[in-house]
């Protein structure tokens, strides 16, 4: 069985779960944060919305500099949930298509994460995809679910029932 065939069911499940969490983000709490050093709800939701699009980047390129010396390549803004869902859906579709196209050899290509030109890690593309995209998505989605709970929003089912959905 191809690696992509093993990843796709998990990818599809995580994308569906993540979309349900994003749908619950309230537009009127964009600047809310649980702690001064934490992301605002809008910033966190935007990161979660963008992460599926990283699949395509990881599968097409062999490196990413998360803090290029030339300045940030992306900035965060307070966007309405409808815009975030549009971003999320486009990235999820592009990511899925990139996985469908991938060969097993594509997953073995060395992939490098940089910060200001300094190598943070180099690992097979498969591990970059798992750690920097899929696990990263689950991590930030869980943070967002906590934000929902703290702000009294309904938390959707993820891997099983929640207090809001039995």
pLDDT tens per residue, range 132-153 = 999 999 999 999 999 999 999 9
Output the pTM of the full model. 0.94
Strands 110-115 and 118-124: antiparallel
Q: From the centroid of its chain, how far is CA 56? A: 12
The whole-number pLDDT of residue 74 equals 72
Do the beta carbons of residue 56 and residue 92 sit within 8 Å? no
| Topology given in CATH for the domain delimited by 3-150 | 1.20.120
Query: In the chain, what are the domain boundaries?
Result: 3-150
What pLDDT is stored for residue 30 in this prediction? 96
- Regions in the chain scoring below 70 on pLDDT: none
C-alpha 92, offset from chain centre:
9
Q: Determine the Cα–Cα distance for residues 116 and 106; give it in Å rounded to an integer.
A: 26
CB 33 within 8 A of CB 71: no
17-27 burial by CB neighbour count: b if 16+ within 10 A, else e? bbbbbbebbee
* Rounded Cα gap, residues 124 and 122, in angstroms: 7
Give pLDDT, residue 165: 85
């Amino acid at each position: 069985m191809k690696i992509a065939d093993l990843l796709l069911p998990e990818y599809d499940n995580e994308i569906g779960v993540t979309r349900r969490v994003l749908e619950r983000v309230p537009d009127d709490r964009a600047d809310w944060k649980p702690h001064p050093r934490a992301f605002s709800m809008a910033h966190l939701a935007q990161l979660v919305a963008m992460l599926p699009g990283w699949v395509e980047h990881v599968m097409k390129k062999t490196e990413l500099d998360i803090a290029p010396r030339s300045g940030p390549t992306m900035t965060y803004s307070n966007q309405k949930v409808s815009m975030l869902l549009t971003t999320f859906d486009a990235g999820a579709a592009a990511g899925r298509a990139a996985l469908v196209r991938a060969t097993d050899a594509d997953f073995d290509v060395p992939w490098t994460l940089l910060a200001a030109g300094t190598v943070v890690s180099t690992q097979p593309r498969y591990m970059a995809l798992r750690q920097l995209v899929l696990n990263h998505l689950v991590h930030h989605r869980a943070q967002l679910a906590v934000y929902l709970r703290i702000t009294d929003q309904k938390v959707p089912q993820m891997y099983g029932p929640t207090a809001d959905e039995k």
